[in-house]
Every structure is written in C-alpha cells, then in structure tokens.
Chains A and B, each alone.
Chain A
Amino acid sequence: MNKNTTEEQSSCLVNRRDFIKLSGSAVALLANGNLKRNVFAAWQSRRPKPKNILLIFTDQQHIDTISAGGCQYVRTPALDQLKTSGVSFTKSYSANPVCSPARSCVFTGRTSSETAVYVNGRPIRSDIPNLGQWFSQQTDYETFYAGKWHLPRSYTSDIPGFKVINTGIGGFGYLCDTVMSRACEGFLRNRSKSKPFLLVASFMQPHDICEWLRLNMDNPQEIRYPQLVEKFPELPDNFEFDENEPGVIKKRRLGNEPFKGKWNKEQWQYYRWSYYRNIEHLDAEIGRILQALEDCGHAKDTLIVLTSDHGEGLAHHQMVRKNTLYDESAKVPLLFSWPGHISENRTDSFHLVSGLDIMPTLCDYAGIKTPKNMRGRSLRSILESVVFSWGRTIITEVSSNTGRMLRTQRYKYITYKDNLVEQLFDMRDNPGETNNLATSSKYASYLPEYRRMLEDWESRLDVPPNVPNADVWRRKG
C-alpha cells in the first residue's frame, strides 16, 4: 500500500466517525503512538475555524471580578455574557505579572526572559514573531490592534504585524478606553462581513486604580463620602500577611501607598470599592464592543478570548497592584467563547493554564502551525471538552527576572534570586497562601524536587545574553 492510499484510507476513517468521539480517541491514540501523526494533522486541519478572532485584553484585572463568577461587589453584564457563553478558567496564571513582560508572553507564546521583556517598556526581541506578524504571514486573517500595547510604548500607531486602528492616550483608562471601544465599534460596524479579521482590543482599565492610589493616599481618617461606607466590600480573609516573607515582598509592601499613607481598615475598603467601580467601567466598554459584534452579525462567527496582563493585590496580604507571585497578582481571568464550538457556561477549576497558552491556542483555532519553541500549549481540546484532564506545571517569572513561581496541581513554590527565604504553599488546604510550608521539616523533601523542576525548565529556554540573571536561573535549581 503506497503512502497516498494510506492517507486516503485514514482520512475516510476519520470522516466516518463522530467528531467528538474521534477527537477523544485520536488524542488517546496519539498519546499511545498508535495513530500516525499525519493522520492526526489531517484531522486537525479539517476542524472548523472561526471566521474572526477577537482578543480582549484588560490591564490589572483580578481574577475574581465577574458577577457571574460569584463576585458580589460588581455588576458586570458584559463579562457575565462572555463567561456564560464559553469556558472560563479559575487556575489561570500570568506568565509574568507585570504589564510589558506579560504582554510579551501572550503575544509570542514565549517566556518574558526569552522575549527580553523582563521589565516594563522594552520591545520584544526582534527574532521572535508576535501574534500579528505570525498571523499575517500564515493566515488570511487581517490583523488589527486597538489600545494599549506597551512593548515598548504604551500607545503607538506602529505595531509590527498589526494595522493599528486606535492609539489611545497614556495612562488613563477612563478616557482612552472609551475612545478605543468607540473605534472598535466603528471598525466592526463598517467592516465587510466577508473579510476575516483578528482584532485585539486592549483596554487600560482597571489599571486606573494605580492613579487612584496616588490620588487617595493621604488622610485615611477622613473618608470623603461617608455615605459609601455601608457599601464598602469586606476585607479579604488573607488580609494579614506572613512575617516570614522574602525581603523583596516586604520591601514592596512598605513602599506602597497604603503603608506610606498609614491606611486604616476603611481606607483599604474604600480602595476595594473603587477598584470594583473601575471594573464596571471596563465592563461597560467591553459591552459596547460585544454589542457591535452582535449587531453586525459577527457574534456567531467570532472566537472571543478575554484575558489580562496581571491581577491586582486588592488588599490580599495587604498588597496593592501587581509584581508579586501571590495568586491575587499572578492569576488572571481567561475566558474563551465561540458559540456552537466551545462548551457553554463551563468553569474549568482543574487545569493549570498560562498566558503562554494563548498563542498556541489561537494558532490551533486558525489551523496553522505555531512559531517554534512555544512554551505553552493549545487549550482547544479542553475548550471543546475533548480532553478532561491534563497534568502539568506552570512557571511564572517576575521582578526583572529575579523571581520564579512553580505551580503544581497541589502546591506553589516561590523563590527569588539572592534570597534565602523560599515559599511553599498548599493551594488546596491554604489557598490564601498564609502558611509558608517551606520552613517545615515535613516538607523539606519537596524543595529539592521543585528546584530541580525549575532548573529543568530553565535549561530548555532560549534566553538572550542581555537579560539579567539568566545564568542565575540556569544554575539555581
């Protein structure tokens, strides 16, 4: 039997089977090595492809900020709509919980140490293609970008691989997100239905909480609007923090506005209340885009992905903003929706997923190969309920390439360069990360294992020489 005949027969075999059944068995067979790769590739290429892709990117969105996800402090009809129409992940982590580094990971599928964007305001290494460049080369999607970029400039009309449809103004979500969503609305309403697009709508909100902190640091004893006090959200259960933290975290906490301004309990609550109002503002602007998508008949043909660059401290561990590896900063919302193709209203609380998975997932949906050296993997099989369990660990980088988080299903291990204090949390029994097990003799054997896993991961990365501490991580182990 010649090769062509084998492929034809294989493809007939594929066609005769029910899609879902095949998907499940194909993955299983591939895993066992019993299904030839080219058969699998043929099956993969015949899977439906969304006509359009909309990637909604938010800035500094805490994972628990969606009303339909159980957050009682906000009203979020647009986010609710996205959540209930698709799959959302509760164990979704930023690959680096800082603006530019996280964005570089989402838009390339590579770690921030590899993209050389280990701090804010650096460009992506030129030999790594971004999503726009890759899709422009490999697909017939026309690629557009609206809003915040931050690689390196926050707002620019010049983004490699994308046609920029709006630029925004620096640093202020309330004004520029409105202009950006109006631009996206115009774009969607004027766009011919026959031309496929990939649109990134990148919002600044709820990042305005950073300005709020600077504009409300002082006089915590005088709540400006006493009538609001009864509406303030409670403080989180893990408001208190562990004294035995790495020095870098203690230093960051003391440098933040709440400690400089000597905040009381009510001021912390007021800050939380204000953050949720920023979320509602964001939600309304997302709603404008979703409405335009619906009105123009694109809604059923469009794969929508929503994620954020990083989370927000939101008073957990008495932290604000990002740049730590606690869940509040490191976790981000990750939602996928494509009516009729992605499971509806499903919350995935099992799989560990990362911002590094977005690029491979989008490539998978577009029916193209990924750029080389992806560090994440496609989530398609999870989204379409083909695969129900995965074992993996997630690695997150942070703080100018000085920190690492290794997350397994059960535990989280955190280590910083030049810091003897390591952290180990049992995420099942202590999800608030208040009990550091790293000093307990009972868990002493865990640390070498996690160090080894980290070393193994680092050894596979392609980190350019101008990235600080690259050698430290390869050696650390």
Chain B
Amino acid sequence: MMGVIASEAISIVRCPEIATAFKKGLAMTIPQIKCNRVVAVQILYIQENAMAKKKSQRTIVGSPLTPTLLDELGALSNFPPSSEDFKPDGNWVNTYRIWTCHGYRESGNDNVGFLRIKRLINSQSSLTLKVHQEVLQADALVNIIEATIECRNNQLASPIQWKISSRFRSADGRYISELSSNDNGAAAEGLDRSAGDWCLFEAVQRLKISKETVLAFDMLEGLSLLKKDQRLSYRGLYPTKIGGENIPLHCFVQLGSGILPCEYWLDDHHRLLAVASMNKAYILDEQAEKITRQILEKERKSYEKRKSSQRK
C-alpha cells in the first residue's frame, strides 16, 4: 500500500499541472512520502486545488447563442457563399454541423455531428425530405438516424407519412444490431397543423419574413415524441458580425412545451444558416460531414490507444 501511494505521489508531482500548482502556491507543502495517509490526502488536495483553479479561470459566455456569438466562440468563421439561385421551394441539400456549448468561452465546446436534409419536390401538394443525422458518442460510437418524410406542401411542411431508422456503429465500424430500431408512421387525417423538427428546417425558409408570421402547431420531434402547443414567429432583422463582416440576418423563434426556445437564422435569400437552441447549434457548413469523420477518426484512435493501454 505504502509503495503504491508513494509511486502515485511521485507520478502526480511530475504531472505538469500539479507542478504548476506548487509553483503558484496552491499547494503549500511537498508531500512527505513517509506516511501513506498524509501523502494521499495531500495529493488529493493538490489535485482538487489545481482543478478548481483551472475551473475558476474559465469565462462564462453569459448570453444565448447567436450567429455573432458563434463566430466569437470559434464555432464558425463564415457561411457557405450565398447563391442567387437558391430557391427554398426547389430541390436542395443543406448540411449542418452540430455544435454544442458548455457555457464557457475557453473549453467544452465541440462539434458533435452533422445533419443533412435533402428536399425533393413531389408534386404541387407534397414534397419529400430525406434526413441523415450522425451524432458522435464517447468512445467512437456513432448514432445514425435516417428518415424519409413525405410532407404536405403547406406552411409547416406537415408530415404525411414517414420511415425512420436509428442505428449505432461502434468504434470498430460494426453496426450494433441489438440497438437498432425502425419505424413507419403516418399522420392521422386532418392533422395539417402539425410539424416535425426536421420539417421546420425546410418550412422556415418558405415563411414570409414579417412580424405577422405566427404559426401555432404541435410538433413530432424526431418523428416520435409529441411536443404540444408550439409557436413559431418572426423576431426581426438583427445586425450580425461574422468573419469580420456585417451581415444582417432574419430570426424566427419557436417557443413551446418540451423545448427550450429555438432560433432560426436566415439570410436575405431565405436560406437557413443556423439554428440555435440553448446549448446546441446547427451551423450550415458544406464541410460538416468531413469534419465529423475527422473527429470520429481521432476519437477512434484515442479510444484504441486507451483500450490498448488498459490491456497492457
């Protein structure tokens, strides 16, 4: 026991963080590697002091996520160039990087996946959305959601019928069949005041930019969870600074039960550039899939290394 504690003590003192703690006077005494109890307690105090010091140096963000703040926090440097040809009611593909914020400026803010939505015109009365979302999990696990949604061509792109699958892929690239699920669904007759969260990414681009735009509806989140009494309304045009440029952006906000306020940010071409709700943001980014793959690869290597050292 004594040997273990002593060796721990030495390894911790060699740790740069602890050494810095000593230098800064956070730890006032060098552990006496004589009595295992005293040493152990001192080491713990040192560790905790160092951790507390590190934590106390972080800066709180303080304000809700907006495109300007996302730029300040390094979550985006610019949006893909706008295209005069973009038609919200045409065929298009938008890919969003999913970014989460821990509430501090310096740490804990990460890209965690991507969402791709493809819009296809079916007819005058309906359209199809093809959804592909990948969310990274710890230890290089990935959740993959794929959905095909036939929607009404109404203001909310109300879902008519859909197919959705959820699959998990582990660090070694294999799908974990025991965790997969599939569902087919259809909206009941007359449900034209309903929306889906992914459908709103499409619908909001077709809405009239006006203070008069206020929509009330129930939402089927992830095509599975009903969130009642939602309202989507236009907030206004806001000056936004991205990559050093001033770009005014339009903002719609969704409020309702079971969700935190969700803001949709659009440019003058009605292109949805970002969606921010509390601690997560979807950021239009053509490189989103590539970035996700790179992070996954890095995480996979780190996981393999961890596993390998555990085996040793």
User: Which one of A165, A169, A185, A215 lies within 8 Å of B138 (CB-CB)?
Assistant: A169
How far is it, in angstroms, between the C-alpha of A189 and the C-alpha of B45 when the chains are bound?
47
How far is it, in angstroms, between the C-alpha of A187 and the C-alpha of B178 when the chains are bound?
6
Instruction: Determine which residue in A208, A215, A219 has the highest number of CB atoms from chain B within 10 A of its CB, and name it.
Output: A215
Interface residue? A349 (CB, 8 A): no
B260 contacts A212, C-beta separation under 8 Å: yes
Interface residue? B187 (CB, 8 A): no
Tell me the nearest residue of chain B to A283, going by C-beta. Answer: B258
- Contact string against B for A residues 44-59, beta-carbon threshold 8 Å, 1 for contact and 0 otherwise: 0000000000000000
CB-CB under 8 A from B137, the residues of chain A are 155, 166-169, 176, 179
How far is it, in angstroms, between the C-alpha of A123 and the C-alpha of B226 when the chains are bound?
38
Q: Is the interface of B mostly helix, strand, loop or mixed?
A: mixed
User: Which one of B135, B139, B261 lies within 8 Å of A156 (CB-CB)?
Assistant: B139
A183 contacts B179, C-beta separation under 8 Å: yes
User: Which one of A75, A166, A213, A280 lies within 8 Å of B179 (CB-CB)?
Assistant: A166
A183 contacts B64, C-beta separation under 8 Å: no
Tell me the nearest residue of chain B to A276, going by C-beta. Answer: B257
CB-CB under 8 A from A284, the residues of chain B are 221, 225-227, 258
Interface residue? B160 (CB, 8 A): no
How far is it, in angstroms, between the C-alpha of A227 and the C-alpha of B233 when the chains are bound?
11
Interface residue? B154 (CB, 8 A): no
- Interface band, chain A: 35 or more
Shortest A395–chain B CB gap in Å is 22
Instruction: Determine which residue in B103, B135, B136, B255 has the highest number of CB atoms from chain A within 10 A of its CB, and name it.
Output: B103
Having A171-B102, A179-B143, one finds 15 other A-B pairs with CB under 8 Å, namely A156-B138, A158-B139, A169-B112, A175-B98, A185-B181, A190-B181, A208-B279, A212-B260, A215-B278, A215-B279, A278-B260, A280-B227, A285-B225, A465-B40, A466-B37
Give B residues with C-beta under 8 Å from A.
36-37, 40-41, 44-45, 48, 60-65, 98, 100-104, 108, 112, 135-139, 141, 143, 145, 166, 168, 176-181, 221-222, 224-228, 253, 255, 257-261, 277-280, 310
Q: List 23 A-B contacts (CB under 8 A).
A: A153-B138, A156-B138, A157-B138, A157-B139, A172-B100, A175-B135, A182-B145, A182-B222, A185-B166, A186-B180, A190-B179, A211-B101, A211-B103, A212-B279, A214-B61, A215-B279, A227-B255, A274-B260, A274-B278, A280-B257, A280-B259, A281-B259, A284-B258
Give A residues with C-beta under 8 Å from B.
75, 119, 153-158, 165-172, 174-176, 178-179, 182-183, 185-187, 189-191, 208, 210-219, 224-225, 227-228, 257, 260-261, 274, 277-278, 280-281, 283-285, 287-288, 400, 465-466, 468
